[in-house]
Amino acid sequence: MMNDDELRERFRTLARHESNAASPFYSEEVAVRRALERRKREHKQHYPLFSLKRLVTAAALTITLALVLALGLAWGTNTGYASGLVISQHERNQLATNAIDISGQLSNLRTEIAQARNTMAGEKTGATAQKLLISSTSQLQQIEDALRHIESELSVTRTADTALVASTVFPVKHALAVTCRALALSPDTLPPVERSRLPGSK
């Protein structure tokens, strides 16, 4: 183990080596650094971080950005979204026109049936004719019931179609609407008269 004096001697040798290796002291070098620092400080004073020019530039940029975004929003609404609205409105109108046509045809049919009933009621000759009249009347009644059912279904379909067009924007709602519609038209929900007309029913 070395004592303190030996250690001190070693450190003295080390100090000699390092002192010789040190760059010479130049006050000029410090003066140059000082001048550079002063210049940097002056630059900071002339161009501070929150100068009026910078603030104005930042505000102008923010306003421009907001304007561009607003413009884009308005343009998008007037083109994409609006065209979507027009298409759905057009489809709805087409559906309504179709429904009106079918209603017109049904009312014509109803009128014809009423006329047939009146004609048959006027021809009261014999028991056979009476029986034929009764059976014809019941058949007419059935046809009328069927007509009424078709009409009510039409009105339901019209509302469902409107909802369907509106729901196409959301796929889940669209799927639900399709399923509910299919369930509503299933044979179990039909009245007995309609059910008997379906293929395979007794």
Partner 1 sequence: MADLDDELARHHGASFGWALVCCNGDRSVAEDVLQNAYLKLYDGRARFAGQSSVRAFLFSVIRRTASEDRRRRLVRAALSLSVLRSEGAESTEQVSGLTPIIYDETCRQLNAALLRLSSRQRQVIHLVFYQELTISAAAEILGISIGSARTHYERGKAQLRVYLEDIKKP
The vertex-19 CA angle with 13 and 23, nearest 5°, equals 155
Nearest distance in Å: CB 6, partner 1: 10
Distance CA 70, CA 10 (A): 77
Distance CA 138, CA 128 (A): 15
Give whichever of 24 and 126 is closer to partner 1, judged by the CB atom: 24
Nearest distance in Å: CB 22, partner 1: 4
Are the beta carbons of 65 and 72 closer than 8 angstroms?
no
Query: What DSSP designation does 50 have?
Result: T
Give whichever of 11 and 81 is closer to partner 1, judged by the CB atom: 11
Give whichever of 21 and 49 is closer to partner 1, judged by the CB atom: 21
User: Tokens 């002063």, residue?
Assistant: 38
Nearest distance in Å: CB 54, partner 1: 22
Query: What DSSP designation does 189 have?
Result: G
Give whichever of 38 and 90 is closer to partner 1, judged by the CB atom: 38
Nearest distance in Å: CB 46, partner 1: 20
Nearest distance in Å: CB 16, partner 1: 9
Distance CA 44, CA 195 (A): 91
Interface residues toward partner 1, by CB under 8 A: 1-2, 4, 7-8, 10-15, 17-19, 21-25, 27, 29-31, 33-34, 37
Query: What DSSP designation does 88 have?
Result: H
Are the beta carbons of 155 and 98 closer than 8 angstroms?
no
Give whichever of 36 and 55 is closer to partner 1, judged by the CB atom: 36
